[in-house]
Amino acid sequence: MEDQIYQIDPVLKTPSTWRNKSWTESIDGYQREAQQLARCVELNRFYLENDYKWEATINVEVVLSPAGIKSVWEKVCRKLKAHGVRALWVREPSKKNHCNYHLLVQDNISEKELAAAIEKAMPDRSDIPWHKHIDKINSTYYHYVRYILKAKVKGYLKGKAVEDKWEYKRLLFKKNLSFKKVGKIGKFWVKPKKVLWQEVVDLEKRIGKGLEQPGMEELVVHVAELTGEPIKVIERTLGYYSNESTIKEWIETIACP
């Protein structure tokens, strides 16, 4: 299909001395972008005065040209912003060559107001057929963010444990199209994404360095036996607080019973 907007058989990884990046170069690069953005979205949530509250999906039911896709959505975003919507949006292709949009919306607007804003922002259905779905963000927030990004995450499919739950739904746009994969409406980011990502990197370095402290491995095992909490959760907590005097004293206690 000449106007196909997604890749039929994307490469797993491009040969390079640098880490694969970009939403379109390779599956490895896509997964890296998705994980990085997911971490930034989580940290952004920590700084927000208002939490993320709504998940909205808008499905366009017709095939549009890349230029048409870009033009229509830019107008929609401007109108949604004018209605006070603050959201992250993620664009993805469907196997029918349509475009679908996922919105992660902040808690500064009611469901009724959001629904009305979308209706006013989107084209008339007689011109471009579409439908929407709005739901409240709940305790599955972590998984929802990774779902809309189609990030690599462990999970279950038909009762079977898998390493990449959304692999079968992940479609990569073709390279060099005229539109973006993700964007924002209104003031979604509390801090620039680059700043947020650097904070994530610094956090991981702090945890990693903390876990290298002598006696930390034994303490992790000890706490796991006491609490029954997952090892990874315990590692991140103890690694982060490794410089606290109470943690150092605890390590000494375990080393010298």
Give the separation between CA 172 and CA 121, rounded to whole angstroms: 26
Helix (H, G, I), strand (E, B) or coil at 162: strand
Amino acid at 100: N
> Where residue 108 falls among pLDDT bands split at 50, 70, 90?
confident
Summarize the confidence of residues 110-129 as an average pLDDT: 97
pLDDT at 245 over 60: yes
pLDDT at residue number 38: 96
- The reported pTM is 0.89
Cβ(59)–Cβ(130) under 8 Å?
Answer: yes
Average pLDDT, the chain: 92
Q: What percent of the chain has pLDDT over 90?
A: 81
Which residue has better confidence, 230 or 51? 230
Q: What are the structural domains of the chain?
A: 27-190 (3.30.70.1910), 197-255 (no CATH)
The lowest-confidence range among 1-5, 37-41, 134-138, 155-159 is 1-5
Helix orientation angle between 231-240 and 193-211, rounded to the nearest 10 degrees: 100
pLDDT at 2 over 70: no
pLDDT at residue number 34: 97
Return the ∠ at Cα 179 (arms to 103 and 169), rounded to 5°.
55
pLDDT at 140 over 90: no
What residues are paired with 105 via a beta bridge?
A: 54, 87
Summarize the confidence of residues 198-218 as an average pLDDT: 94
> Where residue 256 falls among pLDDT bands split at 50, 70, 90?
low
Summarize the confidence of residues 194-208 as an average pLDDT: 96
Largest distance between two CA atoms of the chain = 76
pLDDT at residue number 118: 98
Note the pLDDT tens digit of each residue in 53-87: 999 999 999 999 999 999 999 999 999 999 999 99
